[in-house]
């Protein structure tokens, strides 16, 4: 089967830029339409398992990822007070020559993947919204002719709606607070605490000096969470937790480094494509 000659990837996140890199490297003319006018990646950190690291190596960005992230091979379970209850080796799902797990600051991963896509020859169009996929029409009125259109525009995908796939994300009743903060010296892997006031209190190192920490609770009204109050709310939720959380909590001071969102479930049943338009991720 011949490769498509020209592909439009809608969405410039992890999936979109990784796909664009592989397509462009294979000689396919590849355009990426990203609705944001600048790279303002939401989130504090990301935990990459070995299978993801294997793909990043195939993309040719493993050295850049390894230089920016924090690798580890085990996970711990702690009491809310911070005492270690259990630890175990994590599965090296990417192979024995890769770490089991790596934590990374999400904007750093985004920057690495954007650079890889551009070096491979993909054309990235920032601030460009796709308003129709058949035919392809952009928000400025221009059009494009593509052999394949890939919707890699996230859980609230506009492409999914455009092709008539009725599968809205459903809240599951839990919300998560995340913060990007300084890494205490004692944090050398992901540790999780259950049984406290939150469902889960956890953290993951993302670099030599940084981590992201998170608290999972019953979902609250997002509209009632004022941006200026996010740090104060997360500090209060973290108050009952000990161990490394004492230092982490002291560093939760900037509301701009805290984000709150809901967990949502999404399952697309049946085909993920309509003609030459396909959904990814």
| pLDDT per residue as tens, the chain (281 positions) | 565 589 999 999 999 999 999 999 999 999 999 999 998 876 689 999 999 999 999 999 999 999 999 999 999 999 999 999 999 999 999 999 999 999 999 999 999 999 999 999 999 999 999 999 989 999 999 999 999 999 999 999 999 999 999 889 999 999 999 999 999 999 999 999 998 999 999 999 999 999 999 999 999 999 999 999 999 999 999 999 999 999 999 999 999 999 999 999 999 888 999 999 999 97
Cα separation of 243 and 78, whole Å? Answer: 9
Cα separation of 101 and 148, whole Å? Answer: 34
Give the sign of the dihedral formed by CA 105, CA 126, CA 28, CA 132.
positive
Question: How many CA atoms lie less than 13 Å away from 187 in the CB half-sphere?
Answer: 28
Q: For the chain, list the domains and their CATH numbers.
A: 6-45+105-166+273-279 (3.50.50.60), 171-265 (3.30.9.30)
Helices assigned H by DSSP within 14-94: 14-25, 50-58, 62-68
Question: How many CA atoms lie less than 13 Å away from 249 in the CB half-sphere?
Answer: 17
On the 0-12 / 13-18 / 19+ scale of CB atoms within 10 A, 191 is: buried
Strand ordering across the sheet containing 200-205: 84-89, 74-78, 190-193, 200-205, 210-218, 170-182, 258-265
């Amino acid at each position: 089967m011949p490769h498509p000659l020209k592909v439009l990837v809608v969405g410039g996140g992890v999936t979109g830029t990784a796909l664009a890199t592989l397509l462009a490297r294979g000689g396919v003319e590849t355009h990426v339409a990203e609705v944001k006018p600048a790279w303002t990646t939401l989130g504090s950190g990301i935990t990459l398992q070995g299978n993801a690291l294997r793909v990043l190596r195939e993309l040719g960005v493993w050295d850049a990822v390894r230089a920016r992230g924090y690798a580890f091979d085990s996970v711990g379970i702690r009491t809310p007070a911070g005492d270690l209850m259990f630890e175990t080796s994590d599965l090296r799902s990417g192979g024995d020559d890769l770490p089991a797990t790596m934590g990374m600051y999400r904007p750093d991963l985004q920057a690495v993947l954007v650079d890889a896509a551009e070096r491979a020859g993909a054309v990235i169009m920032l601030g460009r919204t796709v308003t129709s996929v058949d035919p392809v029409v952009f928000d400025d009125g221009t059009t494009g002719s593509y052999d394949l259109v890939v919707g890699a525009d996230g859980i609230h995908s506009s492409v999914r709606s455009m092709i008539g796939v009725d599968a809205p994300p459903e809240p599951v009743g839990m919300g998560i607070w995340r913060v990007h903060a300084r890494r205490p010296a004692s944090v050398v892997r992901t540790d999780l605490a259950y049984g406290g006031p939150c469902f889960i209190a956890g953290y993951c190192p993302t670099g030599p000096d940084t981590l992201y920490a998170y608290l999972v609770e019953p979902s609250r009204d997002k509209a009632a969470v004022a941006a200026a109050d996010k740090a104060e709310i997360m500090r209060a939720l973290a108050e009952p937790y000990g161990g490394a959380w004492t230092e982490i909590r002291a560093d939760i001071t900037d509301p701009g480094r805290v984000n709150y969102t809901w967990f949502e479930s999404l399952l697309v049943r049946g085909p993920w494509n309509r003609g030459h338009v396909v959904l990814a991720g």
